[in-house]
Each structure stands twice: as C-alpha cells, then as structure tokens.
Amino acid sequence: MPYSYEYPHPAVTADVIVFSIIEGRLNVVLIRRAAEPFKDCWALPGGFVQMDEDLKAGARRELAEEAGISPDQLAGLPFFQIGAYGHPDRDPRERVITVAFATLVPMDRVSLVASTDAAEVQWFPLDDLPPLAFDHATILSDARAALARMVETRLTDEATAVFAFLPEAFTLAQAQSVFEIVKGQDLDKRNFRKWIDANWEIEDLKRKTTGGRHRPAALFRLVGLKAG
C-alpha cells in the first residue's frame, strides 16, 4: 500500500455517456463489467482518473481503453461535463466520486465502438436499457436532460453541438429527424426548414443523395451559427 495520506481520500473516476442515433433512436454505449462489484452488469465506460491528467483527459483515455474509441476519433466532437456524483455509498468498495462527461458521435460513425480485451461493448437504445451498475441510471438520465435542454427554444447556440449527430454532409430530412429525436417531438417539415436557415449558415454542397428509390435530396454542410 504505497500511497499514504494524512486524511482519507476518495477515489475519483470519470465516466462517459456516448450518445448517437441509430435507426432513428437515441443510443448510448455501455460496457459489460468484467469485475466485481456489479460483475456482468452493464455500465457506462469509465475508470479511475490518473494523478497527472485532467478529468476530461481521463474520461477520454478510459473511453479509448474500455470502448475502443480513441481521442482522435472524437476530435471536433462535443465533449462536455454533466456533473459530479458522490453519494457516499454509490460504490460498495470504497468512497468513489465520479465525474460524468457526454459526447455525441455522428450517426455514420457508430461503428467506431469496438470491444477491447475481454470487455463487451455495445450500443443500447435509450428507451430499452438493461439494469445499470452503480448510479449510472441517474447519471444517464441527467445527461439526457442536458441534451434536451440544448435544443430548447431560443437557445440556438447551445444547439450547435447537436449537429455532431449528423454526418459531415447531411440532408435536411436527416437534420430534422435528429432534432425531433433529441427534442422528443415531431416537427413540421416546412417550419423546420425555415428555422434552420433563419438560424444557421449551411452550405449547399451541390450534391445529391443517390440510390434511394425516390427523389434525391440535396446535401448540406454546417458552417456555423448565423450572426445576430
């Protein structure tokens, strides 16, 4: 036991909620725990923060180790803190305080989730979750609430992060579907189109989707928020 302190210290972990959209539903990455406590139970990827790394860096490192998602695969994607969770008995081993982060991965890159070592890693639809270890159900529901708050009316700048769910080149129908899923309510097609180009600078890529047996859709790229 080489690490000694004059006063007791809690352990600190960082957990990550990885959101994406798969087949029209919000999904998250869970891993099956290989060790006690909660062995074989599903949990958020995460683990102990090292002494010389920032909380966010620790979260990214654990995400790479446990879910095979490397920090450079997440370059440019939102990665934000949800909060700290520290009920004294949330972990049966010892006092563990966890700091939760969330990230949003594009719907065309969900395959970047890969099992490493023996760990089982899997996407789960948010509305069909298995029982979760620790207080991860609470953390997840807070993260879901944070996501929903980003797209509340009139908070257009916070909503920018939600575009991370979309591929680099997206159709307006895809964009609408993403906002519908995050908000949890259906939107009117024409109103959505008016709203998106009143609020965002989107570049028309002058390309069309192909292959669908229907009229092709124009592809766009997000440039940024409109000034004003």
Partner DNA sequence: CCAAAAGTGTTGGAACTACACCCATGA
Partner DNA sequence: TCATGGGTGTAGTTCCAACACTTTTGG
Residues annotated as part of the active site: 120
Total binding residues toward its own copies, as defined by CB under 8 A: 32
Interface with DNA, residue 8, by CB under 7 A: no
Cα–Cα dist 12/201, whole Å: 41
* Closest to 159 in 3D by CA, of 202, 196, 109: 196
Which of 10, 24, 130, 216 is the binder for DNA (CB under 7 A)?
216
Interface with DNA, residue 206, by CB under 7 A: no
Which of 39, 194, 207, 226 is the binder for DNA (CB under 7 A)?
194
Which of 152, 168, 197, 203 is the binder for its own copies (CB under 8 A)?
152
Q: How many CA atoms lie within 13 A of 95 on its CB side?
A: 6
Binding to its own copies, residues 72-91 (CB under 8 A) = 81, 83-84, 86-88
Cα–Cα dist 2/210, whole Å: 62
Which of 88, 131, 210, 227 is the binder for DNA (CB under 7 A)?
210
Q: Which of DNA, its own copies, none interacts with 193 (beta carbon under 5 to 8 A by kind)? A: DNA
* Closest to 88 in 3D by CA, of 8, 168, 198, 169: 8
Cα–Cα dist 20/78, whole Å: 12
Q: Which of its own copies, DNA, none interacts with 210 (beta carbon under 5 to 8 A by kind)? A: DNA
79 pairs with which residues across the strands?
103
